[in-house]
Amino acid sequence: MTIGVVGGGQLGRMLALAGIPLGQKFLFLDRSTDTPAGQIAPSLVGEFTDQKLLRALAARSEVLTFDWENVSLAGLRALGRATRIAPPLAALAMSQDRIAEKRLFTKLAIPTTRHLAVDSVPSLVRALRTVGLPGVLKTRRLGYDGKGQAVVRTIEEAWHGFEKLRGVPLIYEEFVPFDFEVSIIGARSRSGEIAIYPLNRNLHRDGILRLTRAPFGPAALQRRAAHHLRRVLEHFRYEGVLNVEFFVRRGKLIANETAPRVHNSGHWTIEGAATSQFENHLRAILGLPLGATTARGHAAMINLIGTLPARPLVLATPEAHWHDYGKEERPGRKVGHVTVLADSAQRRDAAARKLLRAIDPVALRAL
């Protein structure tokens, strides 16, 4: 069976690496053959909006999926019902619009930030009066890894942010002085089976995920996050893997955003869970039984940003697992990750701190 994937980044690469042992073949669509996924499977080359290429991808694949959410929704919709696409396009559409995302959270009784749409000077004034300061001004679409947003602490910063981002629809939401960030990942199959992974605790810097640790307690937080995730999965009759990110403030969860795909904070599951998020995504969209999501001990995942460290430095750490995405090194670019496993949270955190001291000392100071 051939699985068509729109997008050939590192997430697509890891999907293929998980699917090949299952006997699956892959065909990617991306703007270049020189992509992480293109190094291990064939690719169609062109824009994500190219309807001719999308039709060719669909014709050569039993099911289509995607490795990031900023793909062409209109292009995928134009393929029609004869093409099976998973996750569902309704979930993709929701994730591409921050206002639609917030509305869904509200509809499903999932706590989220106060917010208002901003598309003009009067609407910005209204948002500032209603939501107040501080806040965050964001593009409603195409934002990721901290791009397309501005933190607003004063009226002057609000105008500066509006001038910087204007020309596209925006959202203004309250700034949450959170204690930390978490995410939860789960899969739902075509038959309605649901499997949910342990909660992740995440550390970001400059809008980019630097460190994930899992499993993360307490148990009550896991139960609430899983409940919210399950509501979203069931709402869409979802197929595939879904991630929901939360702020945690005084023990309460505040939903931030979703990702209708495999997620960076779930990379630890490759070595750290009974079944990786990548394999479960494939199982879900192929109609196969889902695999167990049980953690194998305690895991820490460190993103390698910009440059790759010396391999001996990393591999000298017991239970360290190296992942090179095959990308050219460039500032701010995710070029790989390292996962460390341990038999206790204390040993895991000690190993993560040791590696961060060499790899990302700024992130270490935030721990």
Domain boundaries, the chain: 2-85, 114-174, 180-366
**Beta-bridge mates of residue 324:** 336
* Architecture of the domain spanning 114-174: 2-Layer Sandwich (3.30)
| CA gap 57, 47 in Å, rounded | 12
What is the sign, positive or negative, of the torsion defined by CA atoms of 335, 340, 345, 349?
A: negative
Give yes or no for residue 146 having a pLDDT over 70: no
Helices assigned H by DSSP within the chain = 10-19, 51-59, 73-77, 89-95, 98-107, 121-131, 155-165, 219-235, 269-272, 277-286, 311-315, 345-359, 361-366
Banded model confidence at residue 364, pLDDT cuts 50, 70, 90: confident
Give yes or no for residue 145 having a pLDDT over 80: no
CA 96 to chain centre: 13
Tell me the per-residue pLDDT of 178-202, one tens digit each, with 9 for 90 and over. 999 999 999 999 999 999 999 999 9
Lowest model confidence (mean pLDDT) among 147-156, 249-258, 279-288, 291-300: 147-156
Banded model confidence at residue 336, pLDDT cuts 50, 70, 90: very high
**H or E element at residue 336:** strand 334-342
Give yes or no for residue 131 having a pLDDT over 70: yes
Of the CA atoms within 13 Å of residue 64, those in its CB half-sphere come to: 29
Banded model confidence at residue 367, pLDDT cuts 50, 70, 90: confident
Residue 300: predicted pLDDT: 98
Give yes or no for residue 354 having a pLDDT over 90: yes
Give yes or no for residue 230 having a pLDDT over 70: yes
**Beta-bridge mates of residue 200:** 183
Contact 282, 223 (CB under 8 A): no
Hey, which CATH number is domain 2-85, 3.40.50.20, 3.40.50.10710, 3.40.50.1980, 1.10.1370.30? 3.40.50.20
Closest CA to 311 of 303, 320, 319, 299: 320
Tell me the per-residue pLDDT of 149-164, one tens digit each, with 9 for 90 and over. 999 999 999 999 999 9
CATH 3.10.310.50 describes domain 180-366: no
**Beta-bridge mates of residue 194:** 188
Closest CA to 25 of 62, 76, 69, 52: 62
